[in-house]
Structure 1
């Protein structure tokens, strides 16, 4: 511990005693004491606004009733919350965007909500610039603020996902083949640890914790409150949506998986096989960091094999507009993009380390064709993602060709479990930690591969008392 860390820890230590007896004592948690120590606000079940404060993006978790939701405005607020949780034996959960697939950004104890810690700033020019982003910033606000400086960072598509959770799990996104995962451009992260220290982590300061924060999953090692990323110059991008009839589904899987991971780095694409109320659909969507002519050249090998799409949409737009389109809110204002409707869904995932053979292609297509409303999304990897060693960050899936997300409307997991079981014969035991799956039996290996043991060592070093607990916690 350096002198600065010592002083921060010394300042936070008295808070633990201020909240009364420990978990072994009989005193009730001092919620009023916590409220008085926050520069932010604490919402309790009897307070106005509690119904909204406890909600996640997925309405399926509305039944969970936290003892309190603390809207933190500083690292000191977070440290006070952790001291309160330690002193009272209160379960504590951090929340940035509230998009946890398993609902694990809420709980019955104290929710540390970071949504007010959402500042986004940029320093430096287009080349070599840095963005500092609060953990509670939503992706649409990160994209919007950085666009004013003509830059961006590689990140996901959903406008209301929090920067914190995305980064900590790795951050597969729509420009990752060119610019890497979100965690690949992370240069430093500020973390409040279980004992109340506020640590600035990078390649030289607390390097093991920095490594773990680049793909080790949120909620495991501390509460990350701020991130500093390298930025890239954001120019024009061409977005595309191509549709083929369902009769082409098998050929689309076969040809797309051979083409997409080896396409030029500027091209990211996703193959969607969907069964909806309007029927079955085959769609390839994507972004190309360049103009329409370059996109057409990159698409030519795919369309030559699949034939002309039945429907197509291609448009070259500024980078911010491209991110909005990929997030489903194209041509809307940033404020409107923040109001993405809440959706009830369930999901599972795989990472494809080899291409599907013919029986696997048939199994996938047949699984989507089964009754219900659901999709399978294959997101291309390769490019810059694969040029990072599997142990360089905590995200281990560098050699994967593509990620696979099985997405089900509603919370009935029967279809998910069936198709996931069928496809495990071909994809094996690999999953993406940002698509948390409460069904996974061997989740350590699936999420973290050979990096699991090192993550466990980081956990033991920074949270030996296991203040941060998840059903699938490191």
Structure 2
């Protein structure tokens, strides 16, 4: 059950942004420009002064590392050339960058893992990269995690303590963007979203303050940072998470003939609400060149024996599958397997390179893909399922096309839509439509065809630059409250991109 190997396209977007409360920034290591000063063109002297003010590293066009530093996870954004990229070592570095960008009126992009589907973790101005802030400290059931930490390093470090945090699958995704947009994965039904176990966060806000937010200090900002999307409120530098026991896990893989696809999807979604919270599943439609015809498969992860649940699932589908190919592994080995780097070293689960977040012996590849999503709150009708299946037949060129239907419910549903900024608590599952390469024609057609049946909600971490109703789709009833938080903490909209709040 190798989720990335099955799709060859799966990834989670990784925006980086934050939360707050009352820690003032240290005095700047260089004088700020007077507020009345009119910024001129940003010249070499300005950039050199920024570099001197940092503990971290500024990379500019012409530097040896520039071409590698400007790359995101998705290669089609390689054409974008930032004016500067700063790998920040600490919160004060971030504050220096925020002040510099405001003073020079430079566009700001905030980056961690660089998985943003729309490429908005880079831009033509200043890229603030938090990858170097990647320490993970554990004690008393809680993990204090640097915002630049890659998921594989989070899982690896906490596994040594027998602990874990519910998070995503792709090993090179950064914890910041995942958390700030909600964060679901294979243990969400058992332990909740990543943002659900967030107890506090430190953020650098647009005015340069370094703040700590939690349920008591700056509670509105803390609320917004639990599902309100990365890049909106500031730059996150650190998180404190509540952890869970990281016991061994069971993976399984169920396959049916393509002729049974409609019955599989229909039966799976009827079975899903009654599944044990400790059983997570994902229904996959995949059309890769090696597969010939499309395939239908249900993969999953269970805390313990899932035999009874899987028997009921087969009964709901109405036929026995090939499988279930049960495998019991350690928590860490399971997360490596579902993330597409099973059997590798931890370093091998990183991208190759010497910049923060990379490893010289890293083997995890970049992937060129595009995606769209729907959050489904009630079972799709037979007509809707037929419409989805038709997108893989009737002469469509579907090579390299995939659909993931990832289960929600369980612990995700225990909170109300307004308890955190993540509004989709009643979601039954999330549909993610994926296509290899940058061609979006099939994606547009499939998303448009499903909109009458599944429309109205989408996942902000699968950010969609073509989504016209994105405010309501991402945030639903929480939009007005989020807009007020944005106005309070970033009134001049320093942190902005095409789908930024406010």
TM-superposed deviation, 1:14: 6.4
Give the length in aligned residue pairs.
461
Counterpart in the other structure of 1:346: 370
Instruction: Give the aligned CA root-mean-square deviation in angstroms.
Output: 1.5
Counterparts of 1:159-238 in structure 2 under 5 Å?
A: 159-238=171-250
- Change in Cα spacing, 1:10 to 1:53, as seen in structure 2 (3 Å) is closer
- Change in Cα spacing, 1:21 to 1:27, as seen in structure 2 (3 Å) is farther
Counterpart in the other structure of 1:61: 77
> Is the contact made by 1:72 and 1:114 (CA closer than 8 Å) also made in structure 2?
yes
Q: Mean Cα displacement is larger for which, 348-357 or 294-303?
A: 294-303
Unaligned runs of 5+ in 1: none
- Change in Cα spacing, 1:117 to 1:401, as seen in structure 2 (3 Å) is same
Counterpart in the other structure of 1:298: 309
Query: CA separation in 2, counterparts of 1:311 and 1:101?
Result: 33
Counterpart in the other structure of 1:267: 279
Query: CA separation in 2, counterparts of 1:214 and 1:15?
Result: 35
Query: CA separation in 2, counterparts of 1:347 and 1:21?
Result: 44
Give secondary structure in 2 for the equivalent of 1:434: helix
Q: Which has the higher helix share?
A: 1
Query: CA separation in 1, counterparts of 2:219 and 2:479?
Result: 17
Query: CA separation in 2, counterparts of 1:393 and 1:192?
Result: 21
Counterpart in the other structure of 1:472: 499
Counterpart in the other structure of 2:385: 361
> Is the contact made by 1:349 and 1:405 (CA closer than 8 Å) also made in structure 2?
yes
Unaligned runs of 5+ in 2: 1-20, 351-362
TM-superposed deviation, 1:368: 2.8
> Is the contact made by 2:268 and 2:316 (CA closer than 8 Å) also made in structure 1?
no
Query: CA separation in 2, counterparts of 1:12 and 1:405?
Result: 44
**TM-score normalised by length of structure 2:** 0.90
TM-superposed deviation, 1:107: 0.5
Give secondary structure in 2 for the equivalent of 1:467: coil
Give secondary structure in 2 for the equivalent of 1:313: coil
1:220-276 CA distance string (max 9 Å, x none) = 000011000000011110011221111111001101111124300000010001111
| Among 388, 391, 397, the residue aligned to 1:371 | 397
Counterpart in the other structure of 2:33: 17
> Is the contact made by 1:21 and 1:87 (CA closer than 8 Å) also made in structure 2?
no
- Change in Cα spacing, 1:276 to 1:356, as seen in structure 2 (3 Å) is same
Answer yes or no: is 1:250 the counterpart of 2:262: yes
Counterparts of 1:19-418 in structure 2 under 5 Å?
A: 24-29=38-43, 30-124=46-140, 129-277=141-289, 278-279=291-292, 280-290=294-304, 294-306=305-317, 307-338=319-350, 339-369=363-393, 370-372=396-398, 373-418=400-445
Higher-RCO chain (CA-CA 8 Å, sequence separation at least 6): 2
TM-superposed deviation, 1:172: 1.0
> Is the contact made by 2:255 and 2:298 (CA closer than 8 Å) also made in structure 1?
yes
